[in-house]
Amino acid sequence: MTADLMLIWPELILTIGGLVTLMLGAFMGDRQVGIYQLSALLTLAAAAVAVVALFGVEATVFSGTLSVDAFGGFAKLLIYAASFVCILIAPRFFSGGMRAEYPTLILFAALGMGIMASSRDLMTLYVGLELNSLAAYVLASFMRTDERSSEAGLKYFVLGALASGMLLYGISLLYGFTGTTDFAGIAAAMGDEPGIGLIFGIVFVLSGLGFKISAVPFHMWTPDVYEGAPTPVTTFFASAPKVAAMALMTRIVVDAIGPAIGAWQQIVIFLALASIILGAVGAIGQKNIKRLLAYSSINNVGFMLIGLAAGTQQGVEGVLTYLLVYLVTTLGAFLVVLQLRDEHGNQVESIPALAGLSQRRPGLAAALSVFLFSLAGIPPLFGFWPKYLVFEAAVNAGLVPLAVAGIVASVIGAFYYIAIIKTMYFDDKSEVEVTGGGNAVEGTIVAASALWLSAVGYLFIPMLAVASAHAAAVLF
């Protein structure tokens, strides 16, 4: 037991840090928000250092239920980085309404997501997923006096409970027909031709996880929750949980049900195509920037699933690289949205209100253009590279029609990104005076993200290739 505890330092640090932050909030109230924020940031930084210190270690702990490896470490670093940014940017948004519970909930959500990324058993998978979800439900409705926030929290809770039920039913079927909850045991019992019971189990498990990554047709909560939740919370939902759920889905597909590729590959291909097409088409008529970014998130999940559908190490490498680039792009885009305010300091989310932004705030308009073009995968921006990797993996795996369909659908997706840029640069100024405004920290993150997503990002390809290959190799 002691040896196992020595290998889960990131989880222990998050647990202790979350409890300390919780107790500080309980005894000091909401007067010392800066202390809670600092406590949470130091906790996440310490957990990231612990992950880096464990690189090179490949082991399983607690009777094989959790894995300590490079794949989980890669995902955890992305999760902790996104959580760090979402805590850092929150106080200015909430101003006087910031509460001690916010950083505490994100710490416990990060703990759950880390368990998700390292799970090698259906039970730990569910524990991690629910730990993340319970915190997320509260975060979505964090602004209790805002009807939109309360509605977002309720919708997320109801639909999340439905998804959890589907996932549990799938888990019970896999356990019933294999006699084990261990991923390796399930893979051994799966065989090349799984029976109808196992196929139903695979369908329900992938459906439950499809909700967590906002894949079509389990996407219905995403636009409403993204629009209604506070912007720092939406930023969090669009980044860290996506990484955790995608990492978990990848580990299940490769580790647990990998031998039954004929059964799960068709499901993943459907999820990929449906997400790409609906994410592109659904965004076209949107007038709210957060709803549009929600559909963009659905669209990009579809491209990640193309890499996963390949079922190869090359495909998983493409997924990991895509997650990193998507994370940077999403954080940057939402940080720009966070700075869009009118002369009264109110958040501006209407896309028509962005008309003339290039004249009022040229820096913000340029940064948002970089992020949108990168999400569209338009070269020479770095967002093109992960799309190329997943398409290449699909072609090499013999899934040429899937790659062609993805390329064609990406052209549709580029339309609504370009429409926003046209609004900012070529439309007459709107009546709403978008003054913008952010602090030095937000400006630095936005500038650094935009710079990395320019052609500068290509300089990091050799480093990314080594890291993603090392992480993906663990699953094969």
CA distance 476 to 474: 6
Within the chain, what is the greatest distance between any pair of CA atoms?
66
Tokens of 218: 């389990």
Interval 306-345: pLDDT, tens: 999 998 899 999 999 999 999 999 999 999 888 887 777 6
- Chain position carrying tokens 């926003």: 420
- Angle at CA of residue 413, ends 411 and 416, nearest 5°: 120
Domain ranges, ordered by start, for the chain: 2-473
CA distance 299 to 412: 11
The alpha carbon dihedral of 16, 22, 27, 32 has a sign of: positive
Q: Is 127 exposed, middle or buried (0-12, 13-18, 19+ CB in 10 A)?
A: middle
In terms of Cα–Cα distance, which of 335, 346, 334 is closest to 434?
Answer: 346
Ranges of the chain whose pLDDT falls below 70: 1, 30, 95-98, 192, 345, 431-438
- Chain position carrying tokens 């416990």: 108
What's the pLDDT score for residue 179?
87
CA distance 73 to 79: 10
HSE of 368, CA atoms in CB hemisphere, 13 A: 28
CA distance 271 to 276: 8
Where residue 311 falls (left for φ over 0; alpha for ψ -120 to 50; beta otherwise) is left
Give yes or no for a cis peptide into 230 (omega within 30° of 0). no
Residues 6+ apart with CB under 8 A from 106: 40, 83, 86, 87, 135, 139, 236
CA distance 250 to 270: 16
- Other beta carbons within 10 angstroms of residue 62's beta carbon come to 14
